[in-house]
Amino acid sequence: MQRWVLDLGNTRLKVAPLDVHGQVGDCVALEHRGADMATLAAQLPSQMDVAYLASVVDEGLRVALLDVLAQRCQRISVARTQRRWGDLRIAYADPARLGVDRFLAMLAANAHARRAEQVPPVLVCGVGTALTLDLIDAAGLHLGGRIAPSPTTMRHVLNQQVAQLPARGGSYVEFADDTPDALASGCVGAALGLIQRSLTEAESRVGTTVTLYLHGGGGDELRTLIPQARWAPGLVLEGLAQWAAIDDPS
CATH code for the domain of 17: 3.30.420.40
The answer to whether position 131 is within a domain reads yes
In order along its 250 residues, the chain shows pLDDT tens digits of 799 999 999 889 999 999 999 999 999 999 887 777 888 888 998 889 999 999 998 888 899 999 999 999 999 999 999 999 999 999 999 999 999 999 999 999 999 998 877 789 999 999 999 999 999 999 999 999 999 999 999 999 999 999 999 999 999 999 999 999 999 999 999 999 999 999 999 999 999 999 999 999 999 999 999 999 999 999 999 999 999 998 765 5
The answer to whether position 250 is within a domain reads no
pLDDT of residue 38: 82
Task: Name the residue range of residue 201's domain.
Answer: 84-239
Is there a single domain that holds both residue 201 and residue 91?
yes
Is there a single domain that holds both residue 22 and residue 97?
no
Amino acid at position 155, single letter:
R
Is there a single domain that holds both residue 150 and residue 216?
yes
Is there a single domain that holds both residue 74 and residue 96?
no
Is there a single domain that holds both residue 67 and residue 135?
no
Catalytic machinery residues: 101
pLDDT of residue 138: 94
Task: Identify any residues that bridge with 132 across adjacent strands, giving them in sequence order.
Answer: 126, 147
Is there a single domain that holds both residue 74 and residue 95?
no
The answer to whether position 139 is within a domain reads yes
Which residues neighbour 156 within 8 Å (Cβ) at sequence distance 6 or greater?
167
Q: How many CA atoms lie within 13 A of 91 on its CB side?
A: 14
Q: Which of 63, 78, 93 is the last residue of a domain?
A: 78
- How many domains, in total, are found in the chain? 2
